[in-house]
Amino acid sequence: MKTLKIIFIIISLIVFLNSCRDTEETDNQKPLISTDIQDAFPLNCDTLYFGETFNFKILFTDNIELGSFSIDIHNNFDHHSHSTEIGECNPAPVKTPVNPFLIIQDYDIPEGLKQYETNLEISIPSGNENGVFDEGDYHFFISLTDKSGWSEQKGLSIKILKR
């Protein structure tokens, strides 16, 4: 009986000590998309130009680890809204798209980072096989996901014009 008590105490002690171990930190926060860095681009109401390249520069942060991001540039000729936008930027009249520019691209962020500043060259062609692209109001939509699956979005109102 004495041996049984000792075994019970040892097993109980092992279970107790294992339950007290530090577990992985639980991620319960969304990552952040910040345009508050030097030379951030584009910003709300900026203008991009067909046939030119620009540097996409923005800061991503997370409390544990970043995962990936995507950009989506699409027309806003109908003046639709995304709940993340700061505001309208002197919109052109509503129009029907003929050959709107569209780009959707996904990017991985190197593993183990809590902070990542993009410095990505993006080219906007003048047109495609259907002709020149429609100029006017566009959205530059950024989506950021951390390693745990939390996501954050930022929608910027921009113009894409011909020079």
Range of the structural domain that residue 147 is part of: 30-161
The answer to whether residue 11 sits within a structural domain is no
pLDDT given for residue 13 in this prediction: 58
The answer to whether residue 9 sits within a structural domain is no
Domain tally for the chain?
1
The answer to whether residue 123 sits within a structural domain is yes
pLDDT given for residue 50 in this prediction: 98
pLDDT tens, position by position, 83-102 = 676 666 888 999 999 999 99
Quote the tokens at residue 99: 């050959």
The answer to whether residue 16 sits within a structural domain is no
The answer to whether residue 46 sits within a structural domain is yes
State the average pLDDT for the chain.
89
Strand 120-124 relative to strand 52-56, pairing: antiparallel
The helix/strand/coil state of 98 is coil
Q: Which residues of 106-115 are buried (b: 16+ CB within 10 A; e: fewer)?
A: eeebeeeeee
The pTM assigned to this predicted structure is 0.82
pLDDT tens, position by position, 40-64 = 999 999 999 999 999 999 999 999 9
Instruction: List the CATH number of the domain containing 156.
Output: 2.60.40.2550
Rounded to the nearest 10°, the torsion over CA 142, 42, 85, 114 is 50
The answer to whether residue 130 sits within a structural domain is yes
Q: Is the CB of residue 132 less than 8 Å from the CB of residue 126?
A: yes
